[in-house]
Chain A
Amino acid sequence: MSAVAPGPAEPLTLAALDIDCELVSAQIVDALRRIVSQELRRRGAVVALSGGIDSSVTAALCVRAFGSAHSLALLMPEADSDEKTLHISRTVAETLGIEALHQDITPILDATGCYVRRNEAVRELIPDLTDEWKWKIVLPSVVGTDSYRLYALVAQSPDGRTVEVRLPAKNYLTIVAATNFKQRVRKMLEYYHADRLNYAVVGTPNRVEYDQGFFVKAGDGAADVKPIAHLYKTQVYRLAEHLGLPGAVLDLQPTTDTYSLPQSQEEFYFSLPHQQLDLCLYAHNHSLPAEAVAPAVGLSVEDVSRVFRDIEQKRRATRYLHLPPLLVEPVPELEGSGRAERN
């Protein structure tokens, strides 16, 4: 769906990610109709709107595929969500003319112990941290160094003091495990509404998120269909414009909207702005040398090589997230059982 890859000698430019938005939209809409009605035997779509570009575009494509009467938006903020999230999500739903159900999931998360478990793991490292502090976890940049990049906890006290500590494995894993309740609770509610309406749950990852494992298994990684998982984020932005989504969505910088301190996807996981990462991933996928992409992304050849290695490392580390439950022996009567397919 993208332009023909340049030859090895030609420098890469953003034009490599150009798409015919009308054609791509039509292809996705056709595929959604076929998959949902014929393969899944469902009558519509449930999409969780996060206030971000990916879920907004996905919802817009669902409306084109199934109509507003067969598309349901869910708005599920929680205690750490940015105030803008709900407002932007509502604006998107109104623009698309679809029903939007709002459920604050904070009480459910409280019941699971999400916040308590997570905060205990944080307080082991910063004992004087109170509920008034804001914090996030960050990953150092891949650029400029071959050092292993280990997550750090960055916390800000109410009087503006900032504390940064490296996260030991136990605390890191506990914080992530507790935080993953958020994505899993949302998915539970998506399937509740999908079940009661006989709709499909439509996932919202873009290509970089899908490829690099930026999702929670059985959380936002779960869905019946993922219609934009083949599109680079740059292409998703172009589709958003083409589909007439509100300016508030187009202007938004990608965030995780998960921790109390504002956290970009770049500092949490990707280490590069999405435009640069898109081009690096595109180049790596098309076996282009680092020399061909370095000028386009404004990085040294050495740094592009580091990004390529990081892409491979993340693929290895997150392979497990893509795997379905694996069987010891195949059950051949069921198509696809026992095979290690990507989901």
Chain B
Amino acid sequence: MEPELRSFLAENFLLGEEFRGLPGSASLIEAGIIDSTGVLELVGFLEETYDIEITDSELVPENLDSIDKVVLFVGAKRNSGRTT
């Protein structure tokens, strides 16, 4: 799902060429890629695209603040069978 996620971020947040080189481990907030509204949009994208429901307790940087973390988190959610 990483290419799909990168594509969403690039298109939704109008990111330029430099985004291509962003390491998967980089903080999306610290890199200035997303802000609080961006988190809202990212959560909506993940829920809709991957048919998962993200609970309030899961809205933490450990799950959502880098491409690597998002990939791991969504993968775990889908594997756990807690899809809607």
Contacts and interface: CB of A to CB of B under 8 A. Distances in A.
Contacts of A151: 40
B13 to A, nearest CB: 12
Interface in A166-218: 166-170, 172-173
A172 B37 CA distance: 9
A172 B60 contact: no
A149 B36 CA distance: 8
A313 interface: yes
A313 B44 contact: no
A263 to B, nearest CB: 18
A148 B35 contact: no
A233 B36 CA distance: 25
Interface centre among B32, B36, B56, B60, by most chain A C-beta atoms within 10 angstroms, is: B36
B68 interface: no
Contacts of A147: 56-57, 59-60
Contacts of A252: none
B61 to A, nearest CB: 6
A110 B35 CA distance: 32
Given A168-B44, A170-B44, A316-B32, A148 B39 contact: yes
Interface in B39-54: 39-41, 43-44
B9 to A, nearest CB: 14
A69 interface: no
Contacts of B41: 169
Given A147-B59, A169-B41, 8 more contacts: A148-B61, A150-B40, A150-B56, A167-B40, A172-B40, A173-B37, A313-B29, A313-B35
29 contacts: A146-B60, A146-B61, A147-B56, A147-B57, A147-B59, A147-B60, A148-B36, A148-B39, A148-B61, A148-B64, A149-B36, A150-B36, A150-B40, A150-B43, A150-B56, A166-B56, A167-B40, A168-B40, A168-B44, A169-B37, A170-B44, A172-B37, A172-B40, A313-B29, A313-B35, A313-B36, A316-B32, A316-B35, A317-B37
